[in-house]
Amino acid sequence: MKRLVYIFLLFSIGNSTIAQSQLDSIQKLDEVILSDVKLKRYASGYKIRTLGDSILEKNSLSLTDLLRYNSNIYFKENGYGMVSSPSFRGTNASQTAVIWNGININSQLNGQVDFNTINTSNYDAVEIRSGGGSVQYGSGAIGGSVHLSNDLSFTKHTNHTVRMRYGSFDTKLANYGLSTGSEHWSVNFGIAYVNSENDYKYLGTDKINNNGQYDNLSINLNAGYLLNDHHVLKLYHQSFAGDRNFSGTLVAPSKSKYEDTNYRSMLEWDYFQRQYTSKVKVAHLLEEFKYFENKDAEHFSFGRVQSFIGNHNLNIKLTEAIDLRTIIEFAKYTGNGDNFASPNRDEFSATALWRHELSERLIYGLNIRKDFTSDFQSPFVFSVDGEYRFNESYAVKINGSKNFRVPTFNDLYWSPGGNLDLLPESSYQVDLGQEFSSKFIDLKFNAYYINTKDMIQWVPDKTGLFRPQNINKVKTYGSEVELFLKYTIGSHHLNMNSGYSYTVSKNDASAKQLIYVPLHKFNVNLSYSFKVVELFYQHQFNGEVNIIGGQLEKYDVGKLGLSYNYKIAKNVHSILQFNINNLYNTTYENVALRPMPNRNYQLQLTLKF
Amino acid sequence: MKIKKHLILGLSLVMLAFSCSNDNDNIQTEASGAYEDGILITNEGNYSQGNGSVSFVSTDFSYAENTIFSNVNGKLLGDTVQSIEFYEDLAFIIVNNSQKIEVVNRYTFKSVATIDSGLNNPRYMTVLLGKGYVTNWGDGSDPSDDYVAVIDLNTFAITTTISVEEGPERIVSNATTAYVAHKGGYGQNNIVSVIDANATVLKTITVGDVPNSMAFDNLGQLYVLAEGKPSWTQDETAGKLSVIDPTNNTVISSLDFAIDQHPTNLTYGESLYYYMSGKVYKYDVDSTNLPSTAVIEGVNFNYMTVNNGVLYGVDAGDYTNNGIFKSYDLATYTAKNSKEVGIIPGGIYFNN
């Protein structure tokens, strides 16, 4: 990496001041290392939370587990390990976009990502971007977006990570990661396998979760090659194969099974010049599921969608202070399945992003996008954002945007009921944030308002047949506080990160709080480390939520962990970690009648060499 | 600068101060424990949400109580409450997705037994010579595992099963024979199975596509209403009303609807009544033509039935909020009473 900086510095000298050229080279370095520069460079007015190594390490490796303790996102999980869908800022499951290395991977079938099908062990960072992001990330980025990123490091290095875990309910995990590289090339490889009987107790009953077994395999491979100082080639790949039995509810037994497979591949060619960067990306995504009503029988229903995406990014440095980025993207989606014939859809979008650093204190961005889709009219969307830094410790961030979500293959083509006359959902929002930071404390405070119309809902028509219609209007507003503390005395390190969110999300027609949106959610992570030992505690509080015809009770759940870090040999580190999940043995559900696990334990050994 | 800072903070706090009001639905949920001389309504509830229930409404509509099973027994009834069948003092509540039948005293609703083995997607039940016959889809996606379970009504054990063709739905019986209408489950079927008291399928009778309801008239003739295949199948067929003579189990006459007419909910009380596209039609049993005009319009019935000159219907509304139970005077065809019931009401049973 150092050498690369040096190369860029050499390039820049003689053109402008040294300071400016350093800045340039850092920007170019970002372009080389990161898979999604937009997240860093074109989001001045947005709140972005990065969950890096140290947080990923402590958590359970399922994206649901990670985010429920480290974000204000509420998860509706059909029992532990089952289908898990988010409610981000009071929005529904298909209004949160998941972005894999810059590409939107929400299902074309149902518009959602099942957060239990993402294993975080093979990513360098998980980032949470709050607020509308349709201009940058397309359909579904209404409440916010969750970004999974792999970085490529062009330095001479080889690191191995081996992780093994055993826990209650016969839960086994094995994970191997390799990161290697030189000045010209970089390779990351990760493989993770999880298997669990998942037969936890339903507290307060004599039942157990007797159809909740799951296993999944996740493989990531990323590679980069610096041909010379102007050209980089990159490859990103991810495979996921999951096999789950679907748990029943407290009042309905289940014998069903679900197999899902995802393949995601992307090839990227970057070309750098002093004033501009050009990136060409080609991606292929495949999603496929098989649903067995009876796991012991042979009949199943299936669905599959393939996506081919071509994308060109051009970043032009117009002046020292102004960046312009244009993106054109073409996508072709083809599906087939038991409940629809073989529909396909073509999509073209053109995007322009403008970033202007008016002064050291003030940065603003203007962004526009238009989609053209073969089946329906997509809206013109835009966003405006800005950051004003009053001083080193206080900044105000603001953004406003129009966003959209396209109807899914299910909405359009499902037989019976699919509706080809649907419009995309559209949403306006504003978000105001303040960030205070000092040596020990970081504090973020946000307030937002989202107005979504033409929301797609399946409702019965005159014959009782359920069909999707653009009928719902929802207004959501709320505020969020995030507090981070860091304190060190000698070898004692204290760390805290916490978040509280207040969310009101109401349907225009009923004026009632939407189902599965808690008014209050709070989470905190505390850690104390002394030399080689670290003790940590995580807590989440979820307020009462409305469900159809009733409410789910509020709950508090805690998790305690202890880790011991020691050197086995020269260059071989090991971390032994013991976790107690659901410390207080709380009886709780986050989806009605689907209990979550009782108190349980995990032991994990990580080797790094 | 300082003022600006406070203004922004202030504005943010104002947003925090908004509070949310929670409407409480005005529904009687205290158990009265006395459910004779009234009407039971089954509320299917949302699939997999476990919010199926039974409501009670007094005959004069002066008293209504929802979720009577859980009020009395202190536990949830289950997932997808499909139907009820009475036998002596007992009510058999068929809970489809809970794969069980809750047996209760029909007048107090106190739990007597739970039948939870041997059923697979149970739908409807009839009693023939002291035995219960319950239609079962089996796995919805398997067309060849459908059956009728026979229940010993003293021990509540399933004594035998009768394999039948796909999608057995409603089942009715006279003194000697049970008739099963095969709607077709996930698909479409077009037969009525005839089952005798020895648990033998005597024959299958072809009727219209998707037979959804059956009714005996006062002479014992069996009327079968088929709704036809819906247009989304791309093979739309017309509804059909068939008359079966139970003495020889053959179709003695039938009447066809227009290709885009899909009637449901056949019920008998002096005349036959059925529901179609928001309207109720009356058909006199000796008529050779189907009626061209409706007797009641502007309704949205998920289910309806006739009793003592009154038509009762349930409206499931948007299928996520509580539905409405309504009555109409059949002398004047005017609305009489209505009460809010549970989520997706789908069955009406007279408990007296």
Contacts of A545 in chain B (CB under 8 A): none
Q: Measure in Å the smallest separation between the Cα of A43 and chain B Cα atoms.
A: 20
Residues in B 237-276 with any Cβ partner in A closer than 8 A: 262
Helix (H), strand (E) counts: chain B = 2, 28
Say whether pLDDT at A23 is over 60: no
Q: Measure in Å the smallest separation between the Cα of A88 and chain B Cα atoms.
A: 17
Q: Measure in Å the smallest separation between the Cα of B18 and chain A Cα atoms.
A: 8
Q: Measure in Å the smallest separation between the Cα of A525 and chain B Cα atoms.
A: 24
DSSP character string of B180-239:
EEE--TTS---EEEEEETTS-EEEEEE-SSSEEEEEE-TT-PEEEEE----GGGT-----
Contacts of A463 in chain B (CB under 8 A): 230, 262, 277
**More confident call, A36 vs B17:** A36
Tell the burial category of A489 from Cβ atoms under 10 Å away from its Cβ (0-12, 13-18, 19+): exposed
Contact between B72 and B31 under an 8 Å Cβ cutoff? The reply is yes
Q: Measure in Å the smallest separation between the Cα of A543 and chain B Cα atoms.
A: 13
3-state secondary structure of B339: strand
A506 contacts B141? CB cut-off 8 A: no
Q: How many structural domains comprise chain A?
A: 1
Say whether pLDDT at A305 is over 90: yes
Contacts of B213 in chain A (CB under 8 A): none
Contacts of A471 in chain B (CB under 8 A): none
Q: How confident is the model at residue B9 (pLDDT cuts 50, 70, 90)?
A: very low
Global ipTM: 0.87
Closest to A117 measured CA to CA, from A151, A77, A83: A83
Contacts of B79 in chain A (CB under 8 A): 249, 251-252
A251 contacts B15? CB cut-off 8 A: no
A593 contacts B322? CB cut-off 8 A: no
B318 contacts A459? CB cut-off 8 A: yes
pLDDT (mean) for B38-58: 95
pLDDT value for B286: 84
Task: Provide long-range contacts, Cβ within 8 A and 24+ apart, for B1-6.
Answer: B1/A390, B5/A390, B5/A394
Contacts of A466 in chain B (CB under 8 A): 319
Cα nearest neighbour of A291 on chain B: B141
Say whether pLDDT at A13 is over 60: no
pLDDT (mean) for B286-293: 92
H-helix or E-strand spanning residue B325 = strand B322-329
Closest to A549 measured CA to CA, from A518, A515, A519: A515
- For residue A265, the enclosing domain spans 2-608
Q: How confident is the model at residue B6 (pLDDT cuts 50, 70, 90)?
A: very low
Task: Give me the residue label for tokens 């510095």.
Answer: A9
Nearest neighbour of B12 by CB, restricted to A297, A447, A593: A447
Q: Measure in Å the smallest separation between the Cα of B325 and chain A Cα atoms.
A: 17
Nearest neighbour of A593 by CB, restricted to B11, B22, B50: B50
A447 contacts B343? CB cut-off 8 A: no
Q: Measure in Å the smallest separation between the Cα of A295 and chain B Cα atoms.
A: 11
Cα nearest neighbour of A592 on chain B: B49
Summary mean pLDDT of chain B: 91
Say whether pLDDT at B118 is over 60: yes
Mutation pick from A72, A251, A506 vs chain B, by most beta carbons of B within 10 Å, is: A251
A548 contacts B8? CB cut-off 8 A: no
Nearest neighbour of A504 by CB, restricted to B5, B20, B77: B20
Residues in B 300-339 with any Cβ partner in A closer than 8 A: 300, 302, 316, 318-322
A446 contacts B79? CB cut-off 8 A: no
Q: Measure in Å the smallest separation between the Cα of A72 and chain B Cα atoms.
A: 15
The Cα A532–Cα A50 span in angstroms is 25
A18-32, A446-460, A461-475, A569-583: least confident range? A18-32
Contacts of B20 in chain A (CB under 8 A): 504, 506, 513, 519
Say whether pLDDT at B25 is over 60: no
3-state secondary structure of A33: helix
Sequence-ordered alpha helix ranges (H) in B39-130: 68-73
- Partners of B105 in the β-ladder: B90
A546 contacts B22? CB cut-off 8 A: yes
pLDDT, tens digit (0-9, with 9 covering 90-100), for A188-219:
999 999 999 999 999 999 999 999 999 999 99
pLDDT value for A26: 66
B302 contacts A250? CB cut-off 8 A: no
pLDDT (mean) for B31-36: 82
pLDDT value for A395: 95
DSSP character string of B267-321:
EEESEEEEEETTEEEEE-TT-SS--SS-SEES---SEEEEETTEEEEEE-TTSSS
B142 contacts A297? CB cut-off 8 A: yes
Contacts of B1 in chain A (CB under 8 A): 390
Going by DSSP bridges, is the β-strand pair A545-547/A572-581 parallel, antiparallel, or unpaired? unpaired
Residue A272 — φ and ψ, nearest 5°? -110, 130
Mutation pick from B48, B96, B97, B137 vs chain A, by most beta carbons of A within 10 Å, is: B48
Q: Measure in Å the smallest separation between the Cα of B290 and chain A Cα atoms.
A: 20
| Pairs across A and B, CB distance < 8 A | 114
The Cα A408–Cα A394 span in angstroms is 42
Summary mean pLDDT of chain A: 90
What the block records as the tokens of A348 is: 């073209």
Q: Measure in Å the smallest separation between the Cα of A474 and chain B Cα atoms.
A: 14
Q: B5 — contact with chain A (CB < 8 Å)?
A: yes
Q: B82 — contact with chain A (CB < 8 Å)?
A: no
Contacts of A459 in chain B (CB under 8 A): 318-319
Percentage of chain A modeled with pLDDT above 70: 95
Q: B20 — contact with chain A (CB < 8 Å)?
A: yes
pLDDT value for B2: 40
A452-466, A526-540, B266-280, B296-310: least confident range? A452-466
Contact between A194 and A64 under an 8 Å Cβ cutoff? The reply is no
Q: How confident is the model at residue A10 (pLDDT cuts 50, 70, 90)?
A: very low
Contacts of B139 in chain A (CB under 8 A): 293-294, 297, 299
pLDDT value for A458: 86
Closest to A115 measured CA to CA, from A77, A168, A159, A71: A77
What the block records as the tokens of A559 is: 């998790």
pLDDT value for A22: 55
pLDDT, tens digit (0-9, with 9 covering 90-100), for B161-170:
999 999 999 9
Predicted TM-score (pTM) of this structure:
0.90
How far from the centroid of its chain's Cα atoms is residue A463's Cα?
Answer: 40
Residues in B 162-221 with any Cβ partner in A closer than 8 A: none
Say whether pLDDT at A132 is over 50: yes
Query: Cβ–Cβ contacts within 10 Å for residue A242, how many?
Result: 21
Cα nearest neighbour of A503 on chain B: B16
Contacts of B316 in chain A (CB under 8 A): 460, 464
Percentage of chain B modeled with pLDDT above 70: 91
Say whether pLDDT at A472 is over 90: no
A396 contacts B8? CB cut-off 8 A: yes
The Cα A21–Cα A15 span in angstroms is 8
B16 contacts A432? CB cut-off 8 A: no
Cα nearest neighbour of B138 on chain A: A294
The Cα B97–Cα B259 span in angstroms is 33
Say whether pLDDT at A447 is over 50: yes
A447 contacts B11? CB cut-off 8 A: yes
The Cα A477–Cα B18 span in angstroms is 9
Q: B159 — contact with chain A (CB < 8 Å)?
A: no
A15-19, A305-309, A593-597, B179-183: least confident range? A15-19
Q: How confident is the model at residue B29 (pLDDT cuts 50, 70, 90)?
A: low
Contacts of A510 in chain B (CB under 8 A): 321
Say whether pLDDT at A64 is over 70: yes
What's the CATH number where A434 sits?
A: 2.40.170.20
A417 contacts B232? CB cut-off 8 A: yes
DSSP character string of A338-350:
TTB---EEEEEEE
Cα nearest neighbour of A431 on chain B: B12
pLDDT value for A510: 82
pLDDT, tens digit (0-9, with 9 covering 90-100), for B71-112:
999 999 999 999 999 999 999 999 999 999 999 999 999 999
Say whether pLDDT at B17 is over 60: no
Q: How confident is the model at residue A6 (pLDDT cuts 50, 70, 90)?
A: very low
